[in-house]
Amino acid sequence: MAIHEECGIFGIHGSADCASDVYYGLFSLQHRGQESCGIATNDDAAIECVKGMGLVGDVLSHEKISNLKGDIAIGHVRYSTSGGSVPENAQPIVTQYSKGTLSIAHNGNLTNADSLKKELEDKGAIFHTTTDSEVIAYLIASKRSSTPSVEEAVKEVMGIIKGGYALLVMSPRKLIAARDPYGLKPLVMGKLDDAVIFCSETCALEAVGAEFIRDIAPGEIVVVESGEIRSVDSGIRRNMKKCIFEYIYFARPDSVIDGISVAEARRNAGRILARKHPCDCDIVIGVPESGIDAALGFSAESGIPYEKGFVKNSYVGRTFIKPSQEQRKQAVKIKLNPISSVVRGKRVVIIDDSIVRGNTIANQVNMLRNAGATEVHVRISSPPFMHPCYYGTDVPDEEHLIACIHTIPEICGIIGADSLGYLEPSDLDVMLGGDDFRYCDACFTGNYPER
């Protein structure tokens, strides 16, 4: 089973306290990956890097952060991917090459990584990790030897690689940000006093007290050097196809991606569910965290009271991204606990963001029944998953997707619900407030921007 990555990146140029800024930025992006993390700083062309397996607060101690000097820094949080859960795959990646040193942090997945890696290995390249990110780093270093600047090397590489990516590249004097030509992966720019920041979500800007400036455009390269910002057109921009799953699940609700509030998009999803799949119930509850805003929207539209029905153990990582089925099952058991006094004797409608394999929601339905709920109706704030994602969201192959094997009535019976309702792909445009289909919904429809 292939599981692809979803990570978080944060970079800053022009801050005397750059390591600390990245540290707090990564804390706010911890939801995007709990497997490994790291920070690389640039002190007058001397790059230092600290990274390891675990959460930001565990890996990046105060002592380690205080030893990282410089005014440019990049950071990364990651979870287990097709590259494997090993320390070697932690980022940022630091590369020594003929022109000096480069460090990169990358969110996303390349669709042509295997062929590119084989081509490079045939020419004598030696790889130390199994990540797409090292392929990108090697390509940039290779192209830099024949181009006048790092940004020109990045531009050439963007014409070679395919897939979804948000990329930060740190050279001795520059911080460079690049976004894939479809805008599949989010990337924003902000300012903190005189410092310039790039990161995956606006919530990370707010965490360090920075001002949001704008989203990086699809196919755009932005270079910061000596306090100056300039934009470089890669020449490969496509029509916007941002990842719809950022709004459904991955992003924090307080983030705004490409001008659209994540929280409001999720509430819209709940409102649509209430109109399309009404039910006669006593209370609405949401699965923390990404189901809560949709539940509030369902409640507002239906008039059914919203109640907090689950207590979440905040110290358990996301079950969706656990690397093995056994780990997922164990995490579900300890992650959520129903509040019996809220659900006992009640007809409950539970709102969740998605059903992938079906194990998690089946456990939740069972827990609610054991806690005394008389009926449990399930509403899902996304369409059924029908296809894998090749761009960096954890949607596995069809054989592992319950909606590819069973009908909706069959799924309803398998998870033990009294009824089940999903959004339809045509609802997603309404969910985003009429965004004219400027998003990728391939995991639901099979309409891939590029393969």
Sheet with 195-199, side-by-side order of all strands: 46-53, 36-43, 72-78, 8-13, 195-199, 188-192, 211-215
pLDDT value at residue 333: 63
Residues in the chain, overall count: 451
User: In order of start, what are the domains of the chain with their CATH numbers?
Assistant: 8-238 (3.60.20.10), 259-445 (3.40.50.2020)
The answer to whether 199 is a known catalytic residue is no
pTM for the model stands at 0.92
Phi and psi of 413, rounded to 5°? -70, -40
137 alpha carbon, distance to own chain's centre:
21
pLDDT value at residue 173: 94
Q: Is the pLDDT assigned to residue 382 strictly greater than 80? A: yes
pLDDT value at residue 435: 83
Q: How far apart are CA 319 and CA 328, in angstroms?
A: 5
Which residue in the list 7, 199, 279, 440 is annotated as catalytic? 7
High-pLDDT (> 70) share of the chain, %: 93
Amino acid at 308: K
pLDDT per residue as tens digits for the range 294-336:
999 999 999 999 999 999 876 655 444 555 555 655 556 677 8
pLDDT band at 2; cut points 50, 70, 90: very low
pLDDT band at 106; cut points 50, 70, 90: very high
Sequence-distant (6+) residues with CB within 8 A of 146 are none
Q: Between 209 and 88, whose confidence is greater?
A: 209
pLDDT value at residue 3: 32
17 token code pair:
């306290």
